[in-house]
Amino acid sequence: MKESKALIIFSMIEKIKFLFAHKNFIRYFKNTSWLFAEKVLRMLSGLFVGIWVARYLGPEKLGIMSYAQSFVALFAIVASLGLDDLVVRELVKNESRAKTLLGTSFILKLIGAISLIIFIGIALHFTSNDYNTKVFIFIIASTYLFQSFNVLDYYFQSKVMSKYTVYAKVISLLISSAVKIILILINANLEAFIWVILFDSIVSALGYLYYFFKHTDFKLKKMIFSRSVAIFLLKNSWPLILSGALITIYMRIDQIMIKHFLGNNYVGQYSAAIRISEIWYFIPVVFGSSFFPAFINAKKHNDELYLNRIQRFYDLIVLIALALAIPVTFFSDTIVELLYGSQYNQAGSVLTIHIWAGVFLFLGVASGKWILIENLQKIAFWRAFLGMIINIFLNIILIPKYGIRGAALATLLSQMGAAYFFDLIIHKTRKMFFMKTKAIFLINYFKSTILFFKS
């Protein structure tokens, strides 16, 4: 038995050595490492600078800022147009169209950003928000004009060269963090912190432009807008636009409804909790963005390899999500007290519930890559629609009865319904339900453990 175990361990070591000797693995590993490093740095900034800002502002002012951001987020899909992964997919499939794809995407996103500001201006006429809150909302909405330059990141993603966008993001993060610290030290008002959000997007855009034109042979005059490409992209992205809008609604509507039922202070309490919970949401995004080209290439050559990679992706991110959720559940009150202080005394109970929504959100992000590769964008729409309906319905019932804990429970149940149980209903996605079930219950890990001890 000891010899068998030794052989298994030796075999695992040899496999790891083989992987690190494989050029493509090293390429994707390095790309993921760059993305992960940036997100970890952003997470640390959120834990230190972001929490310092939250303590400085207090629940009431933090609630106003969080409400303004959530209000803009409800309309934000108009600016993104659901193009992100779609353009990356097309760049991987046909690099020769890069200039046209990037040029067309930029113009579409710029039009989307302008449309966003117009829609928000119209929507604000039907709200009871005060003048200052409306100004804050317009400042935050303006950031999407500069986020149009994020299309340059699509090219780096498709070429597995994300380190250049990481450089731009890190520079922007360091500058904006320094500015926030200065604002705290000089006792600045809430509006100053709102302007930093816009400033951050401007610095990021300049960084994208610098690294893109430094490390590619593209010229501005070579960027081409194509009407036919625009029609193609919009034709393929409209289900993603709608599903993205629905996802945003059921991810952000809770804060809008909390303000309506309970007020800004409770929005601040809730926002403090979900900032800790959502700080980890970058993990499936990073892995998904980095391995997306690998999934596409596997699909071209071998379906078994393709599905195996998807399953391993599910297994990995669920294991990470559980490793985060379990300890946070037991120490939520201590974490909130340590980070935010006693003024956020209601946030701990929210965190205990909300952290588990991450398990299903991780799976939802991961399966979103599979949906796009399979060209099943309409299914993404219906999945998001189910999540939105569940979330709004439960928020209406649970917030008046259980307060902000009810909103957290509504988020958990809506994520569970949309990202997991929905797949059981639809024939085309049923195999994903069983693959996700294997990941949730750690079936592959238990199998490996049993085989190890049996040997």
Q: Is the pLDDT of residue 44 over 80?
A: no
- How many other CB atoms are there within 10 angstroms of residue 169's CB atom? 22
Q: What is the dihedral of CA 73, 79, 84, 90, to 10 degrees?
A: 160
Three-state DSSP state, 242: helix
Mean pLDDT of 426-430: 92
Q: What's the pLDDT band for 238 if we cut at 50, 70, 90?
A: confident
Written as six digits, the tokens of 416 are 């569970």
* For residue 7, pLDDT beyond 90: no
Residue 29: what residue type? F
Q: Is 80 exceeded by the pLDDT of residue 197?
A: yes
Candidate ranges 22-26, 71-75, 131-135; pick with highest mean pLDDT:
131-135
The DSSP annotation for 155-202 comes to HHHHTT-THHHHHHHHHHHHHHHHHHHHHHHTT--HHHHHHHHHHHHH
Residue 398: pLDDT over 50: yes
Return the DSSP state at 82.
Answer: T
Q: What is the DSSP string of 327-386?
A: HHHHHHHHHHHHHH-GGGTTHHHHHHHHTTHHHHHHHHHHHHHHHHHTT-HHHHHHHHHH
Q: In 235-358, which ranges are E strands?
A: none
Which residue in the block uniquely carries the two structure tokens 């893109």? 212
Alpha carbon of 14 to those of 7, 20, 230, 390, 427: distances in Å? 10, 10, 48, 48, 40
Read off the pLDDT of each residue in 128-152 and give the average, rounded to a whole number.
Answer: 88
Which run of H or of E encompasses 374?
none
Return the minimum-mean-pLDDT range out of 156-165, 252-261, 320-329, 381-390.
Answer: 156-165
Tracing tokens 């001890």 back to the chain, one arrives at 453
Q: Coil, strand or helix: which one is 76?
A: coil
The pLDDT value recorded for residue 447 is 64
Determine the residue type at 439.
A
> What six digits make up the tokens of 109?
């996103």
Of 174 and 80, which is predicted with more confidence? 174
The Cα–Cα gap between 85 and 190 comes to 35
Mean pLDDT of all residues belonging to the chain? 83
Predicted pLDDT of residue 170: 86
In this predicted model, what pLDDT tens digit does every residue of 290-307 receive, in sequence order? 777 778 888 877 888 888
Instruction: Identify which of 197, 204, 198 has the alpha carbon closest to the alpha carbon of residue 166.
Output: 204
Q: What is the mean pLDDT of residues 335-345?
A: 91
Residue in 353, 332, 358, 334 with CA at minimum distance from that of residue 405: 353
pTM reported for the whole predicted model: 0.75
Q: Write out the DSSP string of 307-334.
A: HHHHHHHHHHHHHHHHHHHHHHHHHHHH
